[in-house]
Amino acid sequence: MIATLTDKTLQTYRRGRRSKSDGPLTERYRPRRLLDVVGQDQAVQVLRAFAAKPFPTAFLFEGWTGTGKTSGALALAAEIGCDVTQKPPEFGGLHTIASGEQTAESVRDLYNQMWRCPFSGSGWKVLIVNEADRMNTAVETIWLDRLESVPPTTVIVFTTNSPANLSQRFRDRCTRVVFESDAVQLDAAARRLIATVWRAERHRRPSNAVIDCILQGAVEGGRVSFRRVVQRVASVSAARASIRADVRRNVR
Ligand SMILES: Nc1ncnc2c1ncn2[C@@H]1O[C@H](COP(=O)(O)OP(=O)(O)OP(=O)(O)O)[C@@H](O)[C@H]1O
Ligand SMILES: [Mg+2]
């Protein structure tokens, strides 16, 4: 098994822990390395092998929401040597297009930028196109053409929850990487993630009842979202803290 939550991983999470003003828990606990992407052993294995010997290509990361697609793309960028700490990220080789920004013009512009060398990092560039299935036909046609020759030292990662909405021709130009969401299959991984985040936040182990309660709220229709797992840790933890505060007030 590749993606286990080791003590090293826990340290990484703890290092990522900053003040509450640093944004939502989901951002603070976003996996930084491929090994930290939990429950996606197969995808992680494929991506680690690729990162060891990268070549210009396009990936299609597909799977249910909150399973690690965007995180996996960012971790892949870090692993192939993009300087992900650079600001703006483009200077370090990391480019992203949000779903609403996929216009013919922005795609052409970004594709042209792929021919330029970043200011820092290994020289590799990663372009992440989130919610790729939302692109319109004109944009898809541009991609069909551009994907025939991905620029040197460039990796394009499309992410989608609905691969069926993309044309077969588009999908055939990408290497498919599936992110799992089956709640039964991912039960142990989700429980480990809950325990890790809870311990990092509250400095104690969660009880089985707490883990069950968090997990229940993160599963829908037999699928688990790790995003929801982390969000539920935040809400359950806050609820318990408030109950404790009430009890203390009443005792005084
Ligand atoms: N496999 C995972 N391992 C650890 N944390 C995860 C994983 N998947 C999701 N998370 C948590 O959920 C947050 C959101 O994950 P991410 O953005 O990678 O999801 P996504 O698959 O891209 O979802 P969407 O389809 O909605 O864009 C992360 O910042 C992290 O806190
Ligand atoms: Mg995403």
Higher pLDDT residue, 68 or 10? 68
Using the atom order of ligand 1, give the atom closest to the CA of residue 27.
29
pLDDT band at 16 (very low <50, low <70, confident <90, very high): very low
Task: For a ligand 1 pocket test, name from 70, 76, 224 the mutation site with the most ligand atoms within 8 angstroms of its C-beta.
Answer: 70
Ligand 2 centroid to Cα of residue 69, in Å, is: 5
Query: Span 162-174, mean pLDDT?
Result: 96
- Rounded CA gap, 228 and 241, in Å? 19
230 CB under 6 A from ligand 1? yes
pLDDT band at 250 (very low <50, low <70, confident <90, very high): confident
231 CB under 6 A from ligand 1? no
Contact yes or no for 188/224 (Cβ under 8 A): no
pLDDT at 99: 73
Higher pLDDT residue, 94 or 15? 94
Half-sphere exposure of 56 (CA within 13 A, CB side): 13
pTM, two decimals, is 0.90
- Rounded CA gap, 3 and 13, in Å? 14
The residue with tokens 């286990």 is 4
Ligand 2 centroid to Cα of residue 228, in Å, is: 13
Tokens standing for residue 106: 């922005």
12 CB under 6 A from ligand 1? no
- The total number of residues shown for the chain amounts to 252
67 CB under 6 A from ligand 1? yes
Ligand 2 centroid to Cα of residue 251, in Å, is: 46
pLDDT at 11: 53
Contacts of 27 (CB under 8 A, 6+ apart): none
58 CB under 6 A from ligand 1? no
Dump pLDDT digits (tens) for 112-129.
999 999 999 999 999 999
- Rounded CA gap, 205 and 214, in Å? 14
Ligand 1 centroid to Cα of residue 67, in Å, is: 5
